[in-house]
A and B are shown apart, each in its own frame.
Chain A
Amino acid sequence: MSIFIQYTVNGLTAGAFYALVALGYTIIYGIIRLINFAHGDLTMVGSFIGWTVLVSMGLQRLPVFLAIALAALASMVVTSVINVGILQFAYKPLLNKSLLAILITALGMSIFLQNAALLVFGAGVQAYPHLVTSSGVFIGGVRISYAQSIFFTISLVLMAGLYSFARFTTLGTAMRALAVDHDAARLMGINVNRVIAIAFILAAILAAAAGVMIGLYYTQINFFLGFLLGLRAFTSAVLGGIGNIPGAMAGGLVIGLLESYCAGYLSGRWQDVFVFGVLITVLIIKPTGLFGERVAERM
C-alpha cells in the first residue's frame, strides 16, 4: 500500500507540471483553434532562462526563495515576450487564412526554438542547482520530499489563479467569449487582438513556472526536453477535453499518475504506450475527452 501511495505522490508531482503546460495548450487552442506545437519548447526555453539566471548569472548564491523567485520572474518575462513575438510574427498573419498553415508555422516554431536552444546552450545536459532539497518527511513509509510538496503547492496555486482569472474577471470572461465566437466577441466591443495576446502571455507564464520547477525538481535539462513534455501535456489537455481549463488540470494529473503507476508496476519501457493507449481508448469511448470540450463547433 505504501508503495502505491509513493507512486501516487511521484505521479502527482509530475502531473502538476504536465497540467501547467497543458493549460497553455488548452488556452491557446480554445481561443484560436491552434495546436501550438511550440508550447512544449517554450517551456524548455523557460527552463533554460531560469538556469541562466541561477547558474550563469550566479544568482543561486542569494537566499533560496529570492533566487528562485527572480529566476521564475525573469523566465516569465522572457517567455512572454517570445510567445507574443511568435504570435505577432508567425501566427497572426495566418489567423483567418488557413488553420493548417498555422499548424505548420507552429511546427516550424517548435523546430526553431529547439535549434535556437541547441545553438545557445549546447547539445549536452545542463545541471540545475540543488536549491530545493530532495530530502523530506517519511509518513508511513512514504517519502514526500520538500521539493515535491512545494512544487505541487505552487502548481495548485497557479492553477487556481488561472481558473479564477478565467471565471471571475472581465478579461477572463472576454477570453471565454472569444473561445465561442470571435466575430460576436468583436461586435460586443472586445479587443480581440489584445485578448489573444493576453492568452499567449498567460500560457507563457505557466510554461515558465513549469520550466523552472522542472529544472529544480529533476536538476537536469537539455534542449530536447520540450518535445516529450509537450507531447504529454498536449495529451493531458486532450484527455481532459481540449479548451476546458479544469479538464486540462485534471488531465495533467491523470497522465502523471498513469505514467508513475505504469513505470512502477509494469515497466518504464511501456509507459508511453500505456499513456497513449489510455488516451485513445478514452477518446473512442468519449470523443470529447473526460470532462468534455469547451470549444464551440464552428459549422
Chain B
Amino acid sequence: MASSPAALKSVTAPISKVRERIGRLPWWLQLAVVVGLAMLVPLYNDDYVTSIGVSVLTFAMLGLGLNIVVGYAGLLDLGYAAFFAIGAYTTAIMTVKLGFNFWTTLLPAIAFAGMAGAILGYPTLRLRSDYLAIVTLGFGEIVRILFTNWDYVDGPNGVWNIPSPSLFGFDLVDQNSYYVIGVILVLIAIIFARNLSYSRLGRGWVAVREDEFAAEAVGVPTLNLKLLAYSMGGMWAGLAGAFFASRVSAINPSSFTFLLSSQILILIIIGGLGSLPGVILGAIVVVGLPELLRGLQNARFLIFAALLILIMLFRPGGLWPQVRARRAPFVGLEDEEEKQAAERPFKLQPSVAEGEAILRVQGLAQRFGGVKAVDDVSFDVRRGEILSMIGPNGAGKTTVFNCITGVQRPKAGRIEFDGRPLGRLKPHSIVRRGMARTFQGIRLFKLMAVFENVMIGASVRERNLPWQALLHSRGERRDERRALKEARYWLRFVGLEEEAGRLATELSYADQRRVEIARALASEPMLVLLDEPAAGMNPTEKLELMRMVRRIRDRGVTVVLIDHDMSLVMNVSDRVVVLDRGQVIAMGTPAEVQNNPRVIEAYLGRDDADEEAELAEATGGA
C-alpha cells in the first residue's frame, strides 16, 4: 500500500530479507527444518494444541491442492469443498457401510475426487475465469445438497462412527498419531507439488495463468492442462477428505459449505499465489488466527475478517509470494554436450523440397461483423526463403497470421502447411507440426523467468506423463535437462544468456522481443512467423535483428515477417507480399514491389506523412 508508513517498512524490510535468505537454502533443507519444527507440536503434548495442528495440516493439504488449480493454472474455484466432501464420504461409506479398512479407501477417495474434478472441468473449460467462479460455486452447492438429500448416508445427519485407521496392529486414535500421519501426508503433498511446479506441466499451468491465449499459440495444450489441473486439485482434496473423515469420525454435509471453500481460497491467497511456503503460512493464519481470538467469543470472526482485509491491503501479493526468478538457472549443464546440441539437425524435416511451397494460403477470407479484414488472400511461402508481408495499418496482416496459426477460424480459404492441410487444428497442434510465431504486442509470460519462457517452447513435443512430473522420474528429469539446454542454446542465439534467470518483465522492450523469438525457435519450427519484431527498436537494434533473421533462415528455418519498417523489409526479404484493405495488391522481389504503381498508391495515396517518409527512406536505401 502506497500510504504505508515508513515505520512499517523498517519492520517488514528485514523480514523479507530473511525470507529471501531462507529461499536460497536448498529446498530439501527448508523442508527438513519445517518438518522438524512441525514435530515439536506433539512433544508439547497438549491435545488441544495438537488438534489445532491437525486442522492446520488438513487445511495445508487442501491448500496445496487448490494451489494447483488457482495458484498455478489461475482457474478461480469457489467450490473446492465439494472434492473434499467426495473424498470424506468415500472413506465414510467404504469403512462404515461396506466394512473396508481405512487404508484401502485412500485410493478410491483420491480417484473419485479426481474424477469429479474432470467431470466439473470438462464442460466448463471454455468459460472465462469469473464465470468459472460461479459455476464452481454452484457445483460445490450441488454436491453438498446431494449429500444432504441422499438417504443412504442419512442426509443431514451424516455418517457416524467412522473407524480410526490402524497400523501394524496399533489403533491410531489419539490426536498425536493423526498429527504424525498428517505431517507425512503434507510432506508428500509438498514434494509432489514442488515437482509439479518446476516441470513442463507447472510451466504450462503458469503460462495459462499469465496469458492463456499466448500459451495456446506457442504450443501449450491449454484445455488439456486446465482439465488436468482440476482433476489433480480434486485428488488432493480427496486425500485430505479421507484423512478428515477418519479423524473427526463423524461427517455431515454442513462440514462442506461455501465458507470452507472460501477459507481454502483465502489461505492460498494470503499465503501468496502459487507459493508452497505460502500455503503453510496461510493454513496457520486461517486456522490459528480464529483460535488465538477464541477469547473474544462472538467478535472473533469479525476481528479475523478485519485482519484478513488488512493483510491483503498491506501485502496484496500474499505473505510469501512465489518468485520464479532464479540466480543461475544453467549451473551444472555440461558445455560439451552443448556443442553437439548446437550442430544437431532440426528434428522436424520439411517433406517439401527446398524452394517448394512450405505454406500455401488459398482464398483466405476473414470478416469481423461487416468488415472484411481479409478478402480472398492467396500466396505461397517457399521453403528456405524470407518472405515479408507489408501494408498500411489495418491491411489485414496480423489477421492473416492469426488465421494461419489457428488462433482465428477463417470464414473461407484453405491453408496447407508442409504438404498437408491444417484444417481445424488447434494452435498448439499447429506449433507441434512445426510452425511458431511471435506477437505484435509482446506476450511473454510475465511472472516466469526468461529461461522458463523459452523452455515452454522447447517442451512442446515432449511426451512425458503427469505422474512422471509428479514423481520427478528419471525420464522426466532427462526431458527437463534437454529442455533447459535448448533454452540456454536459444538464449545464446539471441544474445540473452546472461538474463536467463530474471523475470521476463524486467527486460527491456527489445530484449523481450528477442525472448519471444527464442521461445518460438525453441519449438524447432520449420516455419517461423514474426509479427513486427522490429517495432519499438532503435536503428542499431534493428540492424542486429536483421542479421538475426538471416541467421534463422541460414539454419534452414523459413521466415515470414510482418513489418512496417520498409528499409528493414526491403533489405532482408527474398520476396514481399503487399496487402491493402484485406487484399494482396502486389507480390514479388523487393525491387518489383517497390516500383509497382499500386503499392506506391497504397502508401502515398493515403496522404500519410509517416508512411511517405518510410517509403522514401526505403526506396532511397535499396
**Does B188 touch A at the CB level, under 8 Å?**
no
Contact yes or no, A283 B124, CB < 8 A? yes
8 nearest A-B residue pairs (beta carbon): A276-B138, A112-B305, A115-B302, A111-B305, A101-B316, A108-B308, A108-B309, A115-B301
With A90-B313, A93-B2, A270-B149 in contact, do A238 and B134 touch (Cβ < 8 Å)? yes
A113 nearest CB across to chain B (Å) = 8
Q: Report the separation of the CA atoms of residues A276 and B136 in the bound assembly, to the nearest whole angstrom.
A: 10
Considering the complex, give the chain A residue whose CB is closest to the CB of B267.
Answer: A104
**Does B262 touch A at the CB level, under 8 Å?**
yes
Residues 1-58 of B at the A interface (beta carbon under 8 Å)? 1-3
Contact of B130 among A35, A104, A235, A276 (CB under 8 A): A35
Contact of B316 among A97, A270, A273 (CB under 8 A): A97
Q: Report the separation of the CA atoms of residues A231 and B309 in the bound assembly, to the nearest whole angstrom.
A: 21
Contact yes or no, A283 B127, CB < 8 A? yes
Q: Report the separation of the CA atoms of residues A235 and B301 in the bound assembly, to the nearest whole angstrom.
A: 26
Contact of A119 among B134, B270, B299 (CB under 8 A): B299
Interface-central residue, A98, A101, A108, by most chain B CB under 10 Å? A108
Contact yes or no, B312 A94, CB < 8 A? yes
What are 9 sample pairs from A and B whose C-beta atoms fall under 8 A apart? A93-B1, A94-B316, A98-B316, A115-B299, A115-B302, A118-B302, A276-B138, A280-B124, A284-B124
Residues of B within 8 A of A235 (CB): 134, 138
Q: Report the separation of the CA atoms of residues A103 and B302 in the bound assembly, to the nearest whole angstrom.
A: 18
Q: For the A-B complex with A29-B130, A111-B301 known, give 12 more contacts whose Cβ atoms are closer than 8 Å.
A: A90-B309, A101-B317, A104-B270, A108-B308, A112-B305, A112-B306, A276-B142, A277-B142, A280-B124, A283-B127, A283-B131, A299-B213
Residues 288-346 of B at the A interface (beta carbon under 8 Å)? 298-299, 301-302, 304-306, 308-309, 312-313, 316-317
**Does A234 touch B at the CB level, under 8 Å?**
yes
Interface-central residue, A101, A234, A269, by most chain B CB under 10 Å? A101
**Does A136 touch B at the CB level, under 8 Å?**
no
B476 nearest CB across to chain A (Å) = 30
With A29-B130, A269-B149 in contact, do A105 and B138 touch (Cβ < 8 Å)? no
Considering the complex, give the chain A residue whose CB is closest to the CB of B301.
Answer: A115
Considering the complex, give the chain A residue whose CB is closest to the CB of B143.
Answer: A273
Contact of B141 among A35, A98, A103, A272 (CB under 8 A): A272
Considering the complex, give the chain B residue whose CB is closest to the CB of A29.
Answer: B130
Residues of B within 8 A of A35 (CB): 130, 133-134
**Does B273 touch A at the CB level, under 8 Å?**
yes
Residues of B within 8 A of A231 (CB): 137, 141, 258
Q: Report the separation of the CA atoms of residues A269 and B156 in the bound assembly, to the nearest whole angstrom.
A: 12
Contact yes or no, A104 B312, CB < 8 A? yes
A267-299 vs B, Cβ < 8 Å mask (1 yes, 0 no): 001101100110110011001000000000101
Considering the complex, give the chain A residue whose CB is closest to the CB of B70.
Answer: A100
**Does B135 touch A at the CB level, under 8 Å?**
yes
B133 nearest CB across to chain A (Å) = 6
A232-272 vs B, Cβ < 8 Å mask (1 yes, 0 no): 00110010001000000000000000000000000001101
Residues of A within 8 A of B126 (CB): 287
Contact yes or no, B138 A280, CB < 8 A? yes
Residues of A within 8 A of B137 (CB): 231
B372 nearest CB across to chain A (Å) = 22
A284 nearest CB across to chain B (Å) = 5
A94-131 vs B, Cβ < 8 Å mask (1 yes, 0 no): 10011011111101110110111011000000000000
B224 nearest CB across to chain A (Å) = 18
B143-158 vs A, Cβ < 8 Å mask (1 yes, 0 no): 0011011000000000
Q: Report the separation of the CA atoms of residues A119 and B241 in the bound assembly, to the nearest whole angstrom.
A: 33
Q: Report the separation of the CA atoms of residues A266 and B601 in the bound assembly, to the nearest whole angstrom.
A: 71
Contact yes or no, A119 B145, CB < 8 A? no
Residues 73-90 of A at the B interface (beta carbon under 8 Å)? 90
Contact yes or no, A111 B304, CB < 8 A? yes
Considering the complex, give the chain B residue whose CB is closest to the CB of A239.
Answer: B134
Residues of A within 8 A of B127 (CB): 283-284, 287
Considering the complex, give the chain B residue whose CB is closest to the CB of A278.
Answer: B138
A110 nearest CB across to chain B (Å) = 8
Contact yes or no, A107 B134, CB < 8 A? no
**Does B347 touch A at the CB level, under 8 Å?**
no
Q: How many A-B residue pairs have CB under 8 A?
A: 120
Q: Report the separation of the CA atoms of residues A280 and B134 in the bound assembly, to the nearest whole angstrom.
A: 9
**Does A227 touch B at the CB level, under 8 Å?**
yes
Q: Report the separation of the CA atoms of residues A20 and B493 in the bound assembly, to the nearest whole angstrom.
A: 60
Residues of B within 8 A of A114 (CB): 301
Considering the complex, give the chain B residue whose CB is closest to the CB of A271.
Answer: B145
Q: Report the separation of the CA atoms of residues A279 and B127 in the bound assembly, to the nearest whole angstrom.
A: 13
Contact yes or no, A115 B312, CB < 8 A? no
Contact of B313 among A93, A100, A227 (CB under 8 A): A93
Contact of B312 among A105, A116, A234, A287 (CB under 8 A): A105
Residues of A within 8 A of B305 (CB): 108-109, 111-112, 115
Residues of A within 8 A of B133 (CB): 35
Contact yes or no, B258 A238, CB < 8 A? no
With A234-B134, A279-B134 in contact, do A101 and B269 touch (Cβ < 8 Å)? yes
Residues of A within 8 A of B62 (CB): none
Residues of A within 8 A of B269 (CB): 100-101, 103-104
Q: Report the separation of the CA atoms of residues A94 and B318 in the bound assembly, to the nearest whole angstrom.
A: 13
**Does B265 touch A at the CB level, under 8 Å?**
yes
Interface-central residue, A35, A107, A109, A235, by most chain B CB under 10 Å? A107
A248 nearest CB across to chain B (Å) = 13
A167 nearest CB across to chain B (Å) = 23
**Does B128 touch A at the CB level, under 8 Å?**
yes
Residues of A within 8 A of B302 (CB): 112, 115-116, 118-119
Contact yes or no, B313 A105, CB < 8 A? yes
With A101-B316, A283-B131, A299-B213 in contact, do A272 and B142 touch (Cβ < 8 Å)? yes
Contact yes or no, B313 A94, CB < 8 A? yes
B26 nearest CB across to chain A (Å) = 30
Contact yes or no, B317 A98, CB < 8 A? yes
Q: Report the separation of the CA atoms of residues A154 and B21 in the bound assembly, to the nearest whole angstrom.
A: 62
Contact of A273 among B1, B124, B142, B306 (CB under 8 A): B142
Contact yes or no, A273 B146, CB < 8 A? yes
Considering the complex, give the chain A residue whose CB is closest to the CB of B134.
Answer: A238
Q: Report the separation of the CA atoms of residues A104 and B270 in the bound assembly, to the nearest whole angstrom.
A: 8
Contact of B139 among A115, A238, A276 (CB under 8 A): A276
With A111-B304, A273-B146 in contact, do A279 and B309 touch (Cβ < 8 Å)? no
Q: Report the separation of the CA atoms of residues A234 and B138 in the bound assembly, to the nearest whole angstrom.
A: 11
Considering the complex, give the chain A residue whose CB is closest to the CB of B137.
Answer: A231
B275 nearest CB across to chain A (Å) = 13
A108 nearest CB across to chain B (Å) = 4
Residues of B within 8 A of A115 (CB): 298-299, 301-302, 305
A107 nearest CB across to chain B (Å) = 5
Q: Report the separation of the CA atoms of residues A269 and B304 in the bound assembly, to the nearest whole angstrom.
A: 33
Considering the complex, give the chain B residue whose CB is closest to the CB of A297.
Answer: B128
Contact yes or no, B145 A272, CB < 8 A? yes
Contact yes or no, B298 A105, CB < 8 A? no
Considering the complex, give the chain B residue whose CB is closest to the CB of A235.
Answer: B134
Residues of A within 8 A of B586 (CB): none
Q: Report the separation of the CA atoms of residues A172 and B134 in the bound assembly, to the nearest whole angstrom.
A: 27
Q: Report the separation of the CA atoms of residues A101 and B273 in the bound assembly, to the nearest whole angstrom.
A: 10
Contact yes or no, A279 B135, CB < 8 A? yes
Residues of A within 8 A of B139 (CB): 276, 280
Considering the complex, give the chain B residue whose CB is closest to the CB of A277.
Answer: B142
Residues of A within 8 A of B308 (CB): 104-105, 107-108, 111
Residues 93-131 of B at the A interface (beta carbon under 8 Å)? 123-124, 126-128, 130-131
Considering the complex, give the chain A residue whose CB is closest to the CB of B213.
Answer: A299
**Does B266 touch A at the CB level, under 8 Å?**
yes
Residues of B within 8 A of A93 (CB): 1-3, 313
Residues of A within 8 A of B213 (CB): 299
Contact yes or no, B266 A107, CB < 8 A? yes
Contact yes or no, B317 A107, CB < 8 A? no
